């Protein structure tokens, strides 16, 4: 038998990686963390598109520099929130993603949108949820005299910043912190944990089951997996942070 006959003229398709669409509104530093992880084969999939509701968002340039499809969908061009979300659904589904990632996407999503991607959409939020849902998290933490702050990755549900938490990273609030210094240290932790959560999902380890996040089939605690300040500082090699 000729060896070629065993293939019957069939050319197997290349194995495709899981597909990710990232939504942004601004500079895209968390997007860059995901791009960097992908570059080092640590993301578990491929970012196939970046969509922004802000035409001059610098994150779009980050996407173009990485050879990723950059899509502008200005929300001002739509009369209602529902009309914009309907258009956004079409743009996203055109890219057939396995996961939708909100990386500084500053829009409140309609229930219709959330339900369309429920269980395969995650967000990064700059606080230790459920503390400080919404905006101005660093200023609010400082005003409250909080001793600890941080960031969370969570599944997106219809409750704003209220979906099950996947992973968190904490940071100590220092006596001389202002909003900018605290934001900067929290941001380094966002860049640390966001690619990890994406990889868990794309590897099939992370799932939303009912109102619980599970890893390897086991329910995560309400705060998700949490990196302490010391653990995060060690991972980030922060001088003098321990």
Mean pLDDT of 40-65: 98
The residue with greater pLDDT, 239 or 168, is 168
- For the cut 90, the answer to whether the pLDDT of residue 26 exceeds it is yes
- Predicted pLDDT at 3: 46
- Predicted pLDDT at 215: 98
**What pTM was computed for the model?**
0.92
Mean pLDDT over each residue of the chain, to the nearest integer: 93
Active-site pick, 40, 75, 95, 125: 125
- For the cut 70, the answer to whether the pLDDT of residue 86 exceeds it is yes
- For the cut 60, the answer to whether the pLDDT of residue 5 exceeds it is no
What share of the chain has pLDDT > 90, as a percent?
A: 91
Residue 4 pLDDT class (50, 70, 90 cuts): very low
Two structure tokens written together for 191: 């860049």
Mean pLDDT of 19-33: 98
Residue 11 pLDDT class (50, 70, 90 cuts): low
Mean pLDDT of 209-220: 96
What is the CB neighbour count within 10 angstroms for residue 77? 10
Q: Active-site residue 229, yes or no? A: no
């Amino acid at each position: 038998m000729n060896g070629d006959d065993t293939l019957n003229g069939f050319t197997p398709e290349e194995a495709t990686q899981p597909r990710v669409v990232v939504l942004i509104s601004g500079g895209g530093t968390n997007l860059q963390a995901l791009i960097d992880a992908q570059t080092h084969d640590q993301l578990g999939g491929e970012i196939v598109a970046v969509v922004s509701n802000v035409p001059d968002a610098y994150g779009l340039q980050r996407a173009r520099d990485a050879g990723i499809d950059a899509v502008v969908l200005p929300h001002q061009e739509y009369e209602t929130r529902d009309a914009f979300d309907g258009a956004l659904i079409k743009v996203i589904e055109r890219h057939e993603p396995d996961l939708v990632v909100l990386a500084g996407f500053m829009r409140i999503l309609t229930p219709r949108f959330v339900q369309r991607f429920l269980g395969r959409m995650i967000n990064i939020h700059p606080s230790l949820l459920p503390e400080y849902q919404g905006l101005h998290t660093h200023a609010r933490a400082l005003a409250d005299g909080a001793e600890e702050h941080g960031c969370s990755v969570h599944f997106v549900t219809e409750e704003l910043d209220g979906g099950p938490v996947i992973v968190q990273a904490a940071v100590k609030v220092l006596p001389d912190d202002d909003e900018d210094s605290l934001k900067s240290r929290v941001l380094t932790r966002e860049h640390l944990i966001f690619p990890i959560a994406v990889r868990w999902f794309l590897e099939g380890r992370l799932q939303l089951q009912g109102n619980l996040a599970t890893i390897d089939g086991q329910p995560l605690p309400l705060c998700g997996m949490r990196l302490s300040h010391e653990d995060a500082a060690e991972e980030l090699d922060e001088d003098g942070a321990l």
